[in-house]
Structure 1
Amino acid sequence: MAHQHHQSLDKISSDDWTSKESNGEQDQQQLENMNTFNTLPPSEIQQTTTSLNSQKTSTNLTNTRARLGLHPIAPVIEEHDESEHSDLLWPKIRMSLKEPFAEFFGVFIMVLFGDGSVAQVLLTAGDPSAPGGDGWGNYQSISWGWGLGVMLGIYVAGDSGAYLNPAITFTNCILRKLPWRRLPVYFVAQFLGGFCAAGVIYINYVNGINAMEGHGVRTVPPATNATAGIFCTYPAADMTKAGMFFDEFIASFILMFVIFALKDDSNKGQFSASGAWFPLGLFFLIFGIGACFGWQTGYAINLARDFGPRLMSYAVGYGHEVWSAGGYYFWIPMVAPFLGCLFGGLIYDIFIFTGASPINTPYMGLGKLFNPKQTMQERLEQQKKDGLV
């Protein structure tokens, strides 16, 4: 996404700013256009450079998308749009829900790889038939699985911004001008993606689960041979509530802080806002979090990745223990990632980021809290100007 940004700016620079024939009025207009482009958050750049070229969306579809909080015109690259019969029902549905579908399948792929790696490691532990005679994987395999899942999920969900995490979506709404109206529909899509992926994992590994626990027996940690950990996270037995919360909080802090660094055009410590390298950067980030912060709570860091599969595990027979285990631990991976991601984003913006952010306004944006109506109106007008809504 970001590499398209730089290509667009490079084109402005080479075609317009070096032309000696441009008059002052043209230069001023080009400067305004360039400044508008630079105010866009990286997650929205692909929409701006592609979606406005597509004029196939009817009035009914634009109204439907607007009601869902999406940009009225779907993000479709015109030269790649070879769909015919756009008046048919399914093309209309696809065009109306393009970004939610992208978030759904991005999370779906992410959880398939992540939960699949946990299932293979857990269910084959000690299997003498495996290479090496000690199972088909180890803890590092789980870090690989989740890292690859996130990387591939980002590729799948490019049209939506590839947030894949309600806490990241929430933080972008606060600090990166993502319209608040998109939060509910993205949240639903992300939750359903995790829920459905967990169902697929259960169907695929049900025979192995039966072999380990016994036919029809379903248990959660710390029970011997428990398999509920395939689907969602459970804390280590010796942890306090404060320790559980802090572990999820700090992992989420790291996640958001590094994501903002990777998407920051002015940060010269990475590949020019990472661009095509961003998914690979996220692979290393998730792998590192798993390797360094995964033992105590399983590094959920994502409500959609934990609550959706947890609900699926409850539905397939693991019982109320999925909620009560660990002293009702289930709420911690629902709440801590929001606070951790927000704090990570705030710290990055306070100390490093120089772009458009509430932190880079008078009183670090605190003055806006006392006039929320005017603030929301100004935000909406700016979003319309930037083409976000």
Structure 2
Amino acid sequence: MTRWPKLPELAREMTAEFAGTLILILFGVGVVAQVIAGGPALGDHDSIAWAWGVGVTLGVYVAARISGGHINPAVTLALAVFKGFPWRKVLPFWFAQTLGAFVAALIVRWDYTEILHKFDPGLTIKSQFVFSTLPGNGSLPVGTWGAFRDQVIGTAILLFLVLALTDVRNAPPLANLAPLIIGLVVVGIGMAFGSDAGYAINPARDFGPRLAQYLTGYESAWRDQYGNFYFWVPIAGPLIGGPLGAGLYILLIGRNIPEEEEGTGMTEPRPEYDVS
């Protein structure tokens, strides 16, 4: 049997992050396209929340063995700040994650061409939410700073729980179930914190598809429904909220977990999906 030569370590990890994020966005942006452009008979807010959670679960499973399954620049940054992830890998991971999101959005844009053009022939703010987030989901009375606050809070919740679910000194899910539970966390955030800003909680998830929609005809891609430059909010908010949530986990829980008593034999094996 012919064996393919292995890529260098960093290239393998970038490939995994690209693939994992691509899977995430195929499910996430795909379900929003179906619900927004296809009509309410094809889904609602709950189906959007569940499909994003499924996308996260499958994306993490795809990448976990090779790269840890970050699939989110906010996760990568938080792990670099608090968990020893190499800083030299942060920018390459960000690039791979954003590229994966960009390519996935192009695929969805291509696949939904006819439906999007029928729903919104001018490719305006009406269907922009399919690919990128907007304050107040484009219709509720939320402005730039309200959305920024929401992104900080939502991503802090995500990273707090990611660290809780992958800390082998705590009580993490066993039998390789952590990616599934992390997907459920995203479902919960979508159902509880989806109104203010569309719960991007992931800079690559928003910027990659936003760039894709701009390059395929959405002239308003960088602005919100008020005409303000908005693209920076789902980038800056998560990059602040991620380390904040990770730091709070370490402060409140991680540093307070009792050390294993010598000879108890209670140490769990390091999970393959452990992002720490």
TM-score in terms of structure 2 length: 0.86
Q: Does 1:111 align with 2:14?
A: no
Displacement of 1:96 in angstroms is 6.3
Structure 2 Cα separation of the partners of residues 259 and 336 of structure 1: 17
Aligned residue type for 2:218: Y
Q: Does residue 1:309 correspond to 2:216, yes or no?
A: no
Structure 1 residue 125, shift from structure 2 partner: 1.5
Candidates 235, 244, 247, aligned match of 2:147: 244
Aligned to 1:334: 235
Contact 2:128 2:218 in 1 (8 A): yes
Partner of 2:61: 155
Which of 151, 157, 164 lines up with 2:71 in the alignment? 164
Which of structures 1 and 2 has the larger relative contact order (alpha carbons within 8 angstroms, sep 6+)? 2
| CA distance in 2 between partners of 1:348 and 1:239 (Å) | 29
Of the two, which has the highest radius of gyration?
A: 1
Q: Pairwise mapping of residues 262-273 of structure 1 onto structure 2 (< 5 A)?
A: 262-268=165-171, 270-271=172-173
**Aligned 8 A contact 2:135 2:143 in 1:** no
| Cα distance in 2 for residues equivalent to 1:83 and 1:234 | 49
- For the 8 Å contact 2:26–2:55, the answer to whether it is kept is yes
- Kindly indicate whether residue 228 of structure 2 is the aligned counterpart of residue 322 of structure 1: no
Q: What secondary structure is seen at the aligned counterpart in 2 of 1:322? A: coil
Query: Which secondary structure state, in structure 1, belongs to the residue aligned with residue 217 of structure 2?
Result: helix
Following the alignment from structure 1 to structure 2, what is the Cα–Cα distance between the partners of residues 156 and 83?
23
Contact 2:31 2:48 in 1 (8 A): yes
- Counterpart of 1:266, as a letter, is R
Aligned to 2:89: 182
Q: Deviations over 1:28-65 (max 9, x none)?
A: xxxxxxxxxxxxxxxxxxxxxxxxxxxxxxxxxxxxxx
1:219 to 113, 119, 124: 124
Closer, same or farther: CA 332–147 of 1 in aligned 2, 3 Å: same
Given candidates 234, 248, 251, the residue that maps to 1:350 is 251
Q: Equivalent residue for 2:35?
A: 121
Structure 2 partner of 1:285: 185
The CA distance in 2 between the partners of 1:120 and 1:145, in whole Å, is 11
Aligned-residue offset at 1:210: 1.3
Query: Is the Cα–Cα contact under 8 Å of residues 147 and 233 in structure 2 kept in the other structure?
Result: yes
Amino acid at match of 1:166: P
Measured after TM superposition, the shift of residue 330 of structure 1 is 1.4
Runs of at least 5 residues in structure 2 that lack an aligned partner in the other structure: 258-276
Unaligned 5+ runs, structure 1? 1-81, 127-134, 221-225, 357-389
Tell me how far 1:242 sits from its aligned partner: 2.5
> Structure 1 residues 211 and 241 mapped into 2: Cα distance closer, same or farther (>3 Å)?
closer
Which residue among 108, 132, 155 is the counterpart of 1:201?
A: 108
**Counterparts in 2 of 1:244 and 1:96: CA distance versus 1, 3 Å:** closer
CA distance in 2, matches of 1:92, 1:341: 32
Matches within 5 A, 1:30-109: 84=3, 91-93=5-7, 97-109=11-23
Matched, 1:138 2:56: no
Change (3 A) 1:96 1:175: closer
Q: Distance in 2 between matches of 1:275 and 1:306?
A: 32
Contact 2:28-2:52 at 8 Å conserved across structures: yes
CA apart distance, 1:296: 1.6
Separation (CA, whole Å) in 1 of partners of 2:229 and 2:189: 24
Question: What is the TM-score with the length of structure 1 in the denominator?
Answer: 0.62
Question: How far apart in 1 are the matches of 2:146 and 2:175?
Answer: 36
Q: What amino acid does structure 2 have at the position aligned with 1:354?
A: R
Amino acid at match of 2:60: I
CA distance in 1, matches of 2:132, 2:36: 13
Seen in structure 2, the aligned counterparts of structure 1 residues 83 and 285 have a Cα distance that, compared at 3 Å, is farther
2:164 maps to 261
Question: How much has 1:283 moved relative to structure 2?
Answer: 1.4
How many correspondences in the alignment?
A: 251
Give the CA deviation at 1:98. 1.2
C-alpha distance after superposition, 1:110-164 (max 9, x if no partner): 00000011011112215xxxxxxxx111110100110000000011101101000
Matched, 1:294 2:200: no
- Cross-structure match for 2:117: 210
Deviation at 1:213, TM superposition (A): 1.7
The alignment partner of 1:329 has SS state of coil
Partners of 2:10 and 2:89 within 8 A in 1: no
